[in-house]
């Protein structure tokens, strides 16, 4: 006689078991886990963060999460209380319906959150409460502008802990350096950051600021001249640098140094080598002198020298005063502190590593990789203060543009159509065919849309990318092409506003695209 099978649990038993698991804390809703993981890159290090967010970079949240974050910032309690219902019959005085406001008023609201005034007499709890209230008011102002103008604001950093790191970097630095992607500087440049630095400067202790256009090796000479002219007109000191090129030069110098050791046994060989190297140096210097030095891509040593030139004068006065009093100056009195600030994936970490000559900070395209500020000693005169990568609020750009610029992670995008349209609009068909060795034969009328679909289809078939339905995996091809676009395999750049092949940069309005 066959063994009798066990009876299946009834629906009522399943519900009772599930309810008990939820009450005991053993079961959490899948939707809640998905919501908590959306566009959040956890890098919590247990560094004493006062907020539940820790040092996670939060760019986008749902409406429910937004309400809960506001409640956490304000310390509100949602315990239900029975109160009499009061009907307010007065007319709303909201000014959000005024559509005719000047754009300058909106840009005035689009400011970075300022750290509130504080004194050593304040307790830690009082300072934390003041910072939370200031940050919450800033968030509300941005939401009001977004509602008033019926516009969609692009993702920006919404974690207070990350902004606290920015405040501390600005306060302790003598020189603030914004590092931007030289291919599209205006997208990454934050003018209000310069305003904030000037606000914290005093007559006795002035903070200097500088703009470094990284990845300048991807720009042509005329394009660099136009950007130099543009930033000179708006009063911003700009330098051109390439972290990748600087790293390659360091590796070549190490290779040359190891090779020269093989010839140290012969004095004549060494002398010949010195003469040859001197001739080569003269040739290189002559070539550079013929070009414009104002747009020269600086080497690592040249960039550090520029930092030394901005050493504040008040530090020299402190050193002289201590020497007159017979006191030995401290190392901090003689070195300049350089704050490094920038978006994720603009090459900030790579720039720091090239300056240090070794890998001191991790390189990642994911926001939040740098957990908190860190100081790095270059030499006795220069110290770097690295700030976590920050995505500043912006009205002009779309999410697709932020993906193509490397601000938002490519691997986490849900749809690639809009981003690929930007690529096909910027890069010519002949260049795409040359880089990927493909043939885009058919002529399309709607270039912005159908060109992207055609490129993905041809690229996926040429690379053998197939999905589970044995069709061309366009999403995988999109990730490959977009990463090539961000990393510089597909070369592009933008021109300053009102600039063309013959003109120069003008007042800010909107950058132009220009393939190089």
Give the pLDDT confidence of 106-122 residue by residue, as tens digits. Answer: 556 678 999 999 888 99
Predicted local confidence at residue 211, as pLDDT:
96
Domain boundary among 393, 425, 445: 393
Q: Specify whether 426 is located in the same domain as 509.
A: yes
pLDDT band at 513 (very low <50, low <70, confident <90, very high): low
> Among the listed ranges 71-75, 140-144, 344-348, which one has the minimum average pLDDT value?
71-75
- Residue 6: pLDDT above 50? yes
pLDDT band at 242 (very low <50, low <70, confident <90, very high): very high
- Residue 55: pLDDT above 70? no
Q: Specify whether 445 is located in the same domain as 382.
A: no
Predicted local confidence at residue 86, as pLDDT:
35
The enclosing domain of 381 has a CATH number of 3.40.50.300
Q: Specify whether 381 is located in the same domain as 423.
A: no
- Residue 7: pLDDT above 80? no
Residues 6+ positions from 365 with CB-CB distance below 8 Å: 344, 345, 406, 409, 410, 486
Predicted local confidence at residue 311, as pLDDT:
87
Q: Specify whether 376 is located in the same domain as 425.
A: no
Predicted local confidence at residue 478, as pLDDT:
94
Cα–Cα distance for residue pair 486/400, rounded to 1 Å: 13
What's the whole-number mean pLDDT along residues 138-165? 83
Q: Specify whether 336 is located in the same domain as 472.
A: no
Three-class DSSP labels, 450-478 = HHHHHHHHHHHHHHCCECCCCCECHHHHH
Condensed to tens digits (0 to 9), the pLDDT of residues 243-255 reads 988 888 877 776 6
Predicted local confidence at residue 131, as pLDDT:
94
Q: Is residue 482 part of a domain?
A: yes
Q: Is residue 163 part of a domain?
A: no
Predicted local confidence at residue 50, as pLDDT:
46
Helix H or strand E encompassing 57: strand 57-58
Give the pair of three-digit tokens for residue 186: 């205006």
pLDDT band at 5 (very low <50, low <70, confident <90, very high): low
- Residue 368: pLDDT above 90? no
Predicted local confidence at residue 108, as pLDDT:
66
Predicted local confidence at residue 408, as pLDDT:
86
Predicted local confidence at residue 290, as pLDDT:
44
Domain boundary among 329, 363, 393: 393
Q: Specify whether 422 is located in the same domain as 279.
A: no
Condensed to tens digits (0 to 9), the pLDDT of residues 262-300 reads 445 444 443 443 333 333 333 334 443 345 667 899 999
Condensed to tens digits (0 to 9), the pLDDT of residues 294-314 reads 789 999 999 999 999 998 888
pLDDT band at 175 (very low <50, low <70, confident <90, very high): very high
- Residue 136: pLDDT above 80? yes
Condensed to tens digits (0 to 9), the pLDDT of residues 387-446 reads 998 888 876 567 888 899 888 889 988 889 999 999 999 999 999 999 999 988 755 544
Q: Specify whether 345 is located in the same domain as 494.
A: no
Summary mean pLDDT of the chain = 75
The burial of 510, by beta-carbon neighbours within 10 Å (0-12 exposed, 13-18 middle, 19 or more buried), is given as exposed
Q: Is residue 17 part of a domain?
A: no
Give the residue from 251, 253, 254, 247 showing the smallest Cα distance to 351: 247
pLDDT band at 84 (very low <50, low <70, confident <90, very high): very low
Q: Specify whether 432 is located in the same domain as 368.
A: no
> For residue 2, what is the DSSP state?
P
Condensed to tens digits (0 to 9), the pLDDT of residues 475-487 reads 999 999 999 999 9
Give CA separation, 365 vs 217, 242, 325, in Å.
20, 17, 50
- Residue 82: pLDDT above 50? no
Q: Is residue 404 part of a domain?
A: no
Predicted local confidence at residue 441, as pLDDT:
72
What's the whole-number mean pLDDT along residues 126-145? 91
Q: Is residue 236 part of a domain?
A: yes
Q: Is residue 422 part of a domain?
A: yes
Per-residue burial over 212-238, b if 16 or more Cβ lie within 10 Å, else e, is bbbbbbbbeeebbbbbbbbbeeeebeb
What's the whole-number mean pLDDT along residues 488-509? 69
What's the whole-number mean pLDDT along residues 234-239? 94
Q: Specify whether 377 is located in the same domain as 301.
A: yes
Predicted local confidence at residue 436, as pLDDT:
94
Domain count, the chain: 2
Predicted local confidence at residue 391, as pLDDT:
87
Domain boundary among 393, 422, 441: 393
Q: Specify whether 240 is located in the same domain as 277.
A: yes
What's the whole-number mean pLDDT along residues 189-203? 91
Give the pair of three-digit tokens for residue 63: 């409406």
Other Cβ atoms within 10 Å of 326 Cβ, number: 6
pLDDT higher for 82 or 421? 421
Determine the distance from the C-alpha atom of residue 68 to the mean position of all C-alpha atoms in its chain, rounded to a whole number.
Answer: 26
pLDDT higher for 30 or 275? 30
Q: Is residue 508 part of a domain?
A: yes
Structural domain for 291, as ranges = 173-393
Give the residue from 41, 42, 33, 35 showing the smallest Cα distance to 61: 35
Q: Is residue 274 part of a domain?
A: yes
Q: Specify whether 367 is located in the same domain as 224.
A: yes
pLDDT higher for 296 or 44? 296
**Alpha helix (H) residue ranges in 375-488:** 399-404, 417-426, 429-436, 447-463, 474-487
Q: How far apart are the first and last CA of the chain?
A: 83
Give the residue from 388, 382, 342 showing the smallest Cα distance to 174: 382
Q: Specify whether 238 is located in the same domain as 324.
A: yes
Find out whether 426 and 516 touch, Cβ atoms under 8 Å.
no
């Amino acid at each position: 006689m066959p063994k009798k099978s066990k009876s299946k649990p009834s629906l009522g038993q399943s519900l009772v078991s599930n309810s008990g698991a939820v009450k005991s804390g053993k079961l959490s809703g899948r939707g809640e886990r998905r919501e908590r993981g959306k566009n959040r890159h956890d890098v919590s290090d247990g560094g004493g963060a006062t907020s539940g967010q820790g040092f996670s970079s939060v760019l986008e949240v749902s409406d429910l999460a937004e309400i809960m974050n506001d409640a956490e910032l304000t310390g509100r309690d949602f315990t239900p209380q029975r109160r009499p219902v009061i009907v307010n019959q007065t007319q709303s005085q909201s000014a959000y319906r005024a559509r005719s406001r000047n754009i300058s008023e909106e840009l005035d609201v689009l400011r970075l959150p300022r750290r509130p005034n504080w004194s050593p007499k304040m307790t830690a709890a009082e300072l934390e409460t003041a910072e939370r209230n200031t940050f919450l008011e800033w968030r509300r102002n941005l939401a009001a502008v977004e509602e008033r103008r019926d516009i969609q604001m692009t993702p920006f950093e919404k974690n207070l802990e990350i902004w606290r790191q920015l405040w501390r970097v600005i306060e302790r630095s003598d020189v603030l350096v914004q590092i931007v992607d030289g291919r599209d500087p205006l997208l990454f440049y934050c003018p209000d950051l310069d305003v904030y630095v000037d606000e914290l400067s005093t007559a006795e202790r002035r903070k200097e600021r500088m703009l470094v256009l990284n990845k300048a090796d991807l720009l042509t000479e005329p394009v660099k001249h136009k950007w130099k002219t543009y930033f000179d007109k708006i009063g911003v000191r700009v330098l051109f640098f390439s972290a990748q090129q600087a790293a390659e030069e360091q590796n070549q110098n190490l290779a040359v140094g190891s090779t020269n050791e093989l010839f140290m046994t012969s004095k004549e060989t060494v002398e010949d080598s010195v003469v040859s190297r001197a001739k080569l140096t003269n040739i290189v210097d002559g070539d550079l002198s013929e070009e414009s030095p104002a747009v020269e891509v600086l080497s690592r040593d040249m960039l550090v020298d520029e930092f030394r030139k901005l050493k504040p004068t008040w530090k020299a006065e402190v050193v002289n005063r201590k020497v007159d009093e017979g006191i030995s100056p401290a190392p901090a009195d003689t070195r300049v502190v350089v704050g490094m600030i920038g978006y994720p994936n603009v090459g900030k970490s790579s720039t720091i590593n090239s300056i240090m000559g070794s890998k001191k900070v991790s390189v990642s395209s994911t926001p939040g990789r740098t957990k908190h500020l860190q100081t790095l000693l270059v030499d006795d005169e220069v110290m770097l203060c690295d700030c976590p990568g920050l995505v500043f609020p912006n009205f002009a750009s779309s999410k697709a543009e932020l993906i193509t610029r490397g601000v938002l992670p490519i691997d986490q995008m849900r749809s690639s159509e809009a981003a690929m349209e930007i690529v096909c609009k910027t890069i010519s068909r002949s260049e795409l065919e040359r880089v990927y060795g493909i043939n885009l034969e058919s002529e399309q009328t709607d270039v912005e849309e159908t060109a992207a679909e055609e490129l993905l289809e041809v690229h996926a078939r040429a690379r053998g990318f197939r999905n589970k339905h044995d069709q061309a995996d366009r999403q995988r091809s999109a990730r490959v092409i977009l990463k090539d676009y961000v990393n510089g395999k597909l070369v592009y750049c933008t021109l300053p506003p009102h600039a063309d092949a013959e003109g120069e940069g003008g007042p800010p309005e909107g950058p132009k695209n220009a393939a190089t």
